Chains A and B, each alone.
Chain A
């Protein structure tokens, strides 16, 4: 009884911890092992070395997916942070309608990527969407068919992704700005610095940790991006807007190449880990320092 009382906290956490070990870490280990086998439709546990990884990196389709991930991630980060910084600084200028504006900037975060993709697919529709509207304005030769143009469709995913997530980056930056001591800004003003130079030279450099968080979140979102691609372009036309997450599910459930699919999943996992582990480490260090 005494033993039970003493160990109750551990006993309470144990089931969740067991679930975590099995369903997260155990499953990742399984996927990693299968990536080292020649498994097709069913897992085959015979060790096959790194052949799947060699195959993966020799596949043009995987290169398309990785290239698209790069294009998407870089533009997604730049645009979201640009919009987020501008909106948060402007909202921080004692705007009376701040609450209302924030509500509008952030509502896309409540929508799923499938809903977002469905809406933008209609807006970007090559014959009935924006193109038609501009044509009706009198610009009859205007064409806007990125959605069905190989090499351009990836940019439509950027457009929709930025629309969905940039408000959220604004919210993170606004929270960061609010945590900066007003005295710093006041003192700089007394010294005669202009508002723009205060932000450029003092405030934004102080927000380094917020930039770090925003970048980590955005990279993480883009590596995981699957729903938006499926809803907007389904990886098309052809495979031109394929991304690693889409590639993995296509190989696993469409082509019965689970060894290859596992190898691609492990590549994704490794990329995320390479970014998250140092980030978590520095965050936890900061937490310790504060204490």
Chain B
């Protein structure tokens, strides 16, 4: 009996360990490759360790080689992405909070239908809106600018943020709100003094979700911006796809890690909130 239990426990850990290996290997390969010189990459293999730790590839990925116009490096695009991500995430989160509040605590006729329309909107394939969006941005004179991408991300983030707050506020008892209404408190007073102070968990979930979505976006970035206004994922893809005859895999890997670092750091610091956001963003209702 004891032996049987031990055997199945060992099998369990063997499988779990095997998957640790599977998930961690690409990250390991990225890190060691980014620290090698091109000579070492040519001589060794994917998994071989660098003989000396060498940050040259990181410096080039971030700041370039100083070779003039054909030189692509991530620094300016990193800041482009920040300039787009932060305003878009603030706008969509604030609107989502107030929508979620109005749709649950001040239910009016049609509130459920409106929610349903928001919910369905989160599922649409963005290909179905790309062309009219491109025309609209052109019409407004904000195509290929951070403002244009802030607008796009705020608009298409709204469904998710409204959903998050709506589902959170639905689970909060109506009694407190009713009591406050009887006391004569108004719409905004109740929101700011009662609901908002207890909204910290969902606020964190929403902010992390929106940050990850917008930071990791490629489709909107590549469709609505080019050249110096591109966000980081577009710049990374351009760097890797360069038609130059010599490929610098170490620089590519350093750049990929840089593009991933902000979301990775958030994930490591606030993993639980991150997972909650993902689950709430996909499993509706």
Chain A residues proximal to chain B, CB less than 8 Å: 5, 8-10, 12-13, 15-17, 19-21, 23-28, 30-31, 34, 43, 83, 86-87, 90-91, 93, 95, 101-116, 118-123, 125, 128-130, 132-133, 136, 163, 167-168, 171-172, 175, 195, 213, 217, 220, 223-224, 226-227, 230-231, 234, 244-245, 248-249, 252-253, 258, 261-262, 264-266, 268-269, 272, 276-277, 280, 283-284, 286-287
- Since A217-B283, A280-B119 are in contact, a sample of 16 more A-B pairs with Cβ atoms closer than 8 Å, ordered by chain A residue number, is A12-B102, A20-B117, A20-B158, A23-B133, A30-B131, A30-B132, A43-B135, A90-B16, A112-B218, A113-B216, A118-B252, A119-B29, A120-B26, A133-B46, A224-B126, A265-B125
Question: What is the predominant secondary structure among interface residues of chain A facing chain B?
Answer: helix
Complex interface: stretch among B49-57, B142-150, B196-204, B236-244: B236-244
Q: List 11 A-B contacts (CB under 8 A).
A: A9-B102, A9-B106, A12-B99, A20-B159, A129-B46, A130-B46, A133-B45, A252-B130, A265-B130, A265-B131, A269-B127
Q: Point out the residues of chain B lying under 8 angstroms from A93, CB to CB.
A: 12
Residues of B265-285 whose CB lies within 8 A of A: 266-268, 271, 274-275, 278-279, 282-285
Contact of A104 among B20, B123, B131, B241 (CB under 8 A): B20
The answer on a CB contact under 8 Å between A118 and B16 is no
In the complex with contacts A12-B187, A24-B124, A172-B279, A110-B95 CB distance below 8 A:
no
Q: Point out the residues of chain B lying under 8 angstroms from A248, CB to CB.
A: 127, 130
A134 to B33 alpha-carbon distance, docked (Å): 17
B162 interface contact, C-beta 8 A: yes
The answer on a CB contact under 8 Å between B219 and A118 is no
What does the 1/0 interface line of B31-61 toward A look like (CB < 8 Å)? 0010000000110011100000000000000
A227 to B233 alpha-carbon distance, docked (Å): 10
B168 interface contact, C-beta 8 A: no
The answer on a CB contact under 8 Å between A31 and B103 is no
A171 to B252 alpha-carbon distance, docked (Å): 31
Q: Which of A28, A119, A128, A280 has the most CB of B within 10 A?
A: A119
Cβ-closest chain B residue relative to A224: B125
B139 interface contact, C-beta 8 A: no
Distance (whole angstroms) from the CB of A134 to the closest CB of chain B: 9
Contact of A28 among B99, B129, B285 (CB under 8 A): B129
Distance (whole angstroms) from the CB of A114 to the closest CB of chain B: 4
The answer on a CB contact under 8 Å between B129 and A280 is no
Q: Which of B133, B155, B260 has the most CB of A within 10 A?
A: B260
In the complex with contacts A112-B218, A113-B216, A261-B131, A24-B121 CB distance below 8 A:
yes
In the complex with contacts A91-B16, A110-B260, A13-B114 CB distance below 8 A:
yes
Residues of B140-190 whose CB lies within 8 A of A: 155-156, 158-159, 162, 186-187
Contact of A16 among B41, B162, B233, B267 (CB under 8 A): B162
